[in-house]
Amino acid sequence: MPKTGGYQEPLTFAAINFAILGLLTGIIAVILGGASATYIVTALIGAVIGGIIGLFILGIILFIFFKIFGGSSGYEGTVRIVSYSSAVQVFAWIPVVGWIINLYGIWLNIVGGKHVHNLTTVKSAIAVLLPIVILAVIVMLLMAVIIAAIAAMGLSELGGL
């Protein structure tokens, strides 16, 4: 994969992947009876717009972490990595196995970081996995705060009895 060459080709590739994801997700929702036929269009548009915005955000995050670990390429190269690894989204809609397929997408980002940013596999893996770990810790802390707040509310109501 070239490190440069503009954003048009990789973003077009990613947009097609997200369109397929949105279309198939919408169709499954309609078949399962949880949505109207207009949801297909909403899912399609939402997947493409949200997916492209997400690519740029993920690109910024991974670019920062690749640079922290000594990466040598620019932001464009990082966006190209996440754009091409979006190919897994074509299969992410499949119930149960979708999350396994997304793990392959993480692997593609690691391999892409290794080649585009000239990092070792270990450094690239840490750069890709560390933001995931940080996000998981933040989510767990937020859940703990919410649970503690709910428990405190429940205890205060018990005290009023």
Q: pLDDT, tens digit, for every residue of 9-28?
A: 999 999 999 999 999 989 98
Q: Could you tell me if residue 97 is inside a domain?
A: yes
Task: Print burial letters for 137-157: b (CB count within 10 Å at least 16), e (below 16).
Answer: eeeeeeeeeeeeeeeeeeeee
Q: What percent of the chain has pLDDT over 90?
A: 76
Q: Could you tell me if residue 65 is inside a domain?
A: yes
Q: pLDDT, tens digit, for every residue of 70-112?
A: 999 999 999 999 999 999 999 988 878 888 999 999 999 999 9
Q: Could you tell me if residue 2 is inside a domain?
A: no
**Amino acid 19: pLDDT:** 97
Q: Could you tell me if residue 1 is inside a domain?
A: no
Q: Could you tell me if residue 60 is inside a domain?
A: yes
The boundaries of the domain holding residue 154 are 8-159
How many distinct structural domains can be found in the chain? Answer: 1
Yes or no: say if 101 and 88 are a contact pair by the CB < 8 Å rule. yes
pTM of the model: 0.84
Q: Could you tell me if residue 94 is inside a domain?
A: yes
Q: Could you tell me if residue 57 is inside a domain?
A: yes
